[in-house]
Amino acid sequence: MLPKELFQPKSIAVIGASRNQEKVGYGVFANLVKAGFPGSLYGVNPGGGEVLGYPLLTSVEAVPAPIDLGVFVVSPKDILKAFPILAAKGMKAAIAISAGFKEIGGEGILLERDLTAMAKSTGIRVVGPNCLGVIDTHACMNASFSNGTPSKGNIGFISQSGALCTAILDQSIGGDIGFSKVISMGNKADVSESDLLEYLADDPETRVIMGYIESIDDGRRFVRAAKEVTSRKPVILVKAGATASGAKAASSHTGSLAGSDNAYGAAFRQAGIIRAASIEELFDFSIAFSMRPPTSSGKILILTNAGGPGILAADAVERLGINLFEVSEELQAKMAPKTPPTASLNNPIDIIGDARADRYRDVLNILSQEDSIDTILVLLTPQGMTEPDETARATVETLGKTNKAVFASFVGQASVEEARKILMAGGIPSYPVPERAVDAACAMFRYSNVRRADFPEDGGSLGGRPMAAQRALGRILNKGGKGGEEDSRDILEAYGFSFPKNAFATTSKEAVEAFRSMSVPKVVMKIVSPQILHKTDVGGVKLGLASEEDVANAYETMMSTISRLVPDAHIEGVSIQEMIVGGQELILGLTRDPQFGPLLMFGLGGIYVEVLKDVAFRIAPISKRDAREMIREIKYYPLLAGYRGTDPVDEDAVVDALERLSVMSSDFPEILELDINPIRVMPKGKGLRAIDCRVSVAGTEK
């Protein structure tokens, strides 16, 4: 938990306060003074002198105790020297603005380690280093070198980029957006995004949390914290570096598909975070949540004075998969006397080009009384008779105080500028084009689907036989970490996965014998060799062998092909498997994300997985609900659910299997990657049959 002294200190010492207006140390001190910080404020600078009427103390020792908050704008080494002195004076929290730490590498890394250690050992929480600072508008505290102080508002903003902080504050200072708190996180040596989310969740001045994130260090804590927060307040984040998944060398399909962005995507989804695709969306969404209560109907009513913008808004509604509110005949009858006969009273309601403010007001009055409508988009295009300002006022007066989510888009520039200001000041979020307003409305609906905390602390009720798996893992380790099919299968069987009948053979004769003893109609033969991972590529798979002769021939062909194509491979033998007919091919997988830990994958299997990439990810541990959501997230799902003549598959069995994989991932952190591909899901009630699998194990862990 962060101390409240970070935001509402009674006393602040600025180490490195400066008289030189070019220096950051001046900027920070001046911001504190100009924002009207009501507590005791001390500046420290060896040169002494006076800033804005405050005398500068020449040493840290001279600062009178008690001090709640230390703000540091001196060199890293001077921070480390001053810190213990202020700690002794009762400092509860610190903001390290100075750069020169981890971001410069080398010695900077060591200095940052020292700062972190000091924070841990004293219990004093440190924001930064290498950050813009911290602002609490309601406490009149601006401990940052921002260019001015933003307006008061109810948006809490956290940012991993100081520059972006500046840019966003610039918008606030010039415009219509207000903040409760602004925290530039810098290098996150101590205070992390998770700490801040938890604090802002409890902050009565903060209604919505927006943030810019480049990386998350403790992914699992973040998901846990965010999940708790989003059940109380919307959290909207933009994740930069989203597509730069890097060239991770992965030997499994799951590993190669699970770029870090998929892990963030899964984490955000599981945590109920609304992800903005750009800074513009971050703003657009935050403004909406800041001004209006979240709504859940999924239906929008559009009011317009021109067809074109109405159609564009309706297009956006359809594209986003939400709906137009259906206007009943009764409601149409109420509006009819207030509108000309050529108006269109279906949604979008078009009260046509000559609508003055009074016509808008009449219709908005009627709409404001309709409880079944929770989301309204008011569009205006400036035409001959249009009264933009007065229409803005009518919108605010009729809808501003209601519990409806109301959005406005007055299209144009010169004639609607003032109207937009009236709308924003009246609590109606206003967007330059209709599509952006619809996007924001859709974000609200998405938030209403955010689940309340149901994050299982460890696995579900399904377990496995860890000891049996442990033995197989040991064998894999002995072979260098890459599991062959036999050992991989043993691990999965220990967790309840079932495979076709199976035997191992090292000669043609043994293969024929295996076929005979299985007494199944058809078998598949596959090469067993630690060097051959993609068996199909080298002729290492033969399907549909239906007679002893088939089996013998397949064996000879396979050996001669492989010895030609992969002469260096060590061939252990072949596996003879019962051939499974029917069902649908899926892939289940597990990989490890550096931030979030075990990442489960579900998707369309076989060779399709790499081309169609129709897969879903979740961070383990998962609940049954998570598992079911994963299954239903893929595009192919309708075919699994039973589509025109195909039987529905055994979805419950897939849910169980995903849960079991989740448990396995926590039982065995040394399992780095795992593919079960394909795994065939049979019709409802008939379970799963894993066909092929592969496990990679880390040798150094556990």
Which residues inside 197-216 make contact with a second copy, applying CB under 8 A? 212, 214
243 binds a second copy per the rule CB under 8 A:
yes
Q: How close are the terminal C-alpha atoms of the chain, in Å? A: 31
Closest distance to a second copy from the beta carbon of 372 (Å): 23
In whole angstroms, what is the distance from residue 453 CA to residue 433 CA? Answer: 36
The correct pick among 1, 247, 249, 611 for binding a second copy (CB under 8 A) is 611
As beta bridge partners, residue 71 has 14, 95
In whole angstroms, what is the distance from residue 503 CA to residue 507 CA? Answer: 12
User: Which residues make Cβ contacts (< 8 Å) with residue 27, sequence separation at least 6?
Assistant: 145
435 binds a second copy per the rule CB under 8 A:
yes
In whole angstroms, what is the distance from residue 579 CA to residue 501 CA? Answer: 9
In whole angstroms, what is the distance from residue 647 CA to residue 686 CA? Answer: 11
Task: Please say whether the beta carbons of 221 and 199 come within 8 A.
Answer: no
Our CB check for a second copy shows the closer of 61 and 107 to be 107
Rounded to 10°, the helix 548-565/508-518 angle is 140
Type of residue at 98: S
User: Which residues make Cβ contacts (< 8 Å) with residue 207, sequence separation at least 6?
Assistant: 154, 155, 180, 233, 289, 290
Cα 686 from chain centre: 36
Task: Please say whether the beta carbons of 288 and 313 come within 8 A.
Answer: no
Our CB check for a second copy shows the closer of 112 and 205 to be 112
The correct pick among 50, 217, 318, 701 for binding a second copy (CB under 8 A) is 318
The correct pick among 67, 164, 364, 690 for binding a second copy (CB under 8 A) is 164
In whole angstroms, what is the distance from residue 338 CA to residue 366 CA? Answer: 10
Closest distance to a second copy from the beta carbon of 386 (Å): 9
In whole angstroms, what is the distance from residue 563 CA to residue 189 CA? Answer: 55
Residues in 134-153 that interact with a second copy by CB under 8 A: 145, 147
Residues in 331-390 that interact with a second copy by CB under 8 A: 342, 353, 381-384
Our CB check for a second copy shows the closer of 105 and 123 to be 105
Closest distance to a second copy from the beta carbon of 159 (Å): 8
Q: Taking contact as CB under 8 A, which single stretch among the options 187-195, 236-244, 420-428, 463-471 is the one that binds a second copy?
A: 236-244
Residues in 635-664 that interact with a second copy by CB under 8 A: 635-636, 638-639, 643-646
326 binds a second copy per the rule CB under 8 A:
no
185 binds a second copy per the rule CB under 8 A:
no
Our CB check for a second copy shows the closer of 163 and 453 to be 163
Question: Phi and psi dihedrals of 378, rounded to 5?
Answer: -100, 115
As beta bridge partners, residue 649 has 683
In whole angstroms, what is the distance from residue 652 CA to residue 686 CA? Answer: 10
608 binds a second copy per the rule CB under 8 A:
yes
305 binds a second copy per the rule CB under 8 A:
yes
316 binds a second copy per the rule CB under 8 A:
yes
Q: Taking contact as CB under 8 A, which single stretch among the options 326-334, 446-454, 532-540, 677-685 is the one that binds a second copy?
A: 532-540
Closest distance to a second copy from the beta carbon of 343 (Å): 12
Residue with tokens 């002893």, as numbered in its chain: 548
Q: How many CA atoms lie within 13 A of 698 on its CB side?
A: 12
Our CB check for a second copy shows the closer of 85 and 311 to be 311
The correct pick among 3, 432, 466, 573 for binding a second copy (CB under 8 A) is 432
279 binds a second copy per the rule CB under 8 A:
yes
The correct pick among 9, 25, 27, 583 for binding a second copy (CB under 8 A) is 27
314 binds a second copy per the rule CB under 8 A:
yes
As beta bridge partners, residue 121 has none
Q: Taking contact as CB under 8 A, which single stretch among the options 9-17, 117-125, 229-237, 407-415 is the one that binds a second copy?
A: 407-415
